[in-house]
Amino acid sequence: MALARWRTDFRRWEKTPGSPVCEVDLDVDRMLRARLEGLLPDAGWLSEETVDNTDRLAREAVWVVDPIDGTRDYIRGREGWAVSVALVRNGEVVLGVLDAPARRERWTATRGQGAWRNGVALHAGMRSALSGARVPTDALPKIDRHLTIVHKPNSIALRMAMVAADEADLVATLRWGNEWDIAAAAVIAVEAGAGVSDALGGTLRYNKPDPTAFGVMVAAPGIHDEALAWIRPRAEAASIR
């Protein structure tokens, strides 16, 4: 559905300044909800494009969905967007799918069973030193010039998945974000062997009353701790809200 309407004429607007949305986001959201609730009628629902219902907090299983992650790239006709679907049980992601049809990619992971892209098993890289680590970004501040820039899709989920595929070594954010942005990609990265935490090194949990987390740190396992130590002063300053 999303691919068929990509690079066509559709309504788009901003929910808040700097936060774009389009009618395709909403249509995909409705379709996913109908299909997924048909699979698991007792599961709760948490999505970027649906008004939150706290009934989900009483459910053992919850779908956590971003119908189009990377809407800015979708609107601009670029390929860096994906449909993100995660199944959470008792606060942990047990199933994650990223579908990136413009890139002809489907990423999947099941807890304890590995991660895959188009049927090929994924393994995070073996980098052991932070210096030179590949980071998908548009630019680096002076303090981070020891890192190496690689191509950045707008979708944070796809950037996290790049670490799982050994196409990047490090993805870090230093702001409060939403569970639906990271849930599916996080289990893909974990199952590929990457280190995954919030920006302060804490364990990511899902289906919380406030479904947010302070940042995310996804890194090759050999540099995860070093990367956390490097950004800790900035993370601690930025986490206060």
Phi, psi of 238 (to 5 degrees): -80, -20
**CA–CA separation, 9 vs 125, rounded Å?**
40
Name the amino acid, one letter, at 100: A
CA proximity to 29, closest of 11, 52, 41, 47: 47
Q: Would you say 37 is a known binding-site residue?
A: no
To the question of whether residue 69 is assigned a binding role by annotation, the answer is yes
- As given in the structure block, the two tokens for residue 91 are 């606060």
Q: Tokens 């959201």 correspond to what residue? A: 29
H helices of 114-223, where?
A: 156-164, 179-191
CB 193 within 8 A of CB 166: no
Asked whether 211 and 237 are in contact (CB, 8 A), the reply is: no
Residue 210, annotated as binding a ligand? no
The torsion region of residue 104 among left (phi > 0), alpha (psi -120 to 50) and beta comes to: left
Written as six digits, the tokens of 89 are 């049980």
Annotated binding site: 48, 66, 68-69, 181
Annotated binding site for Mg(2+): 48, 66, 68-69, 181
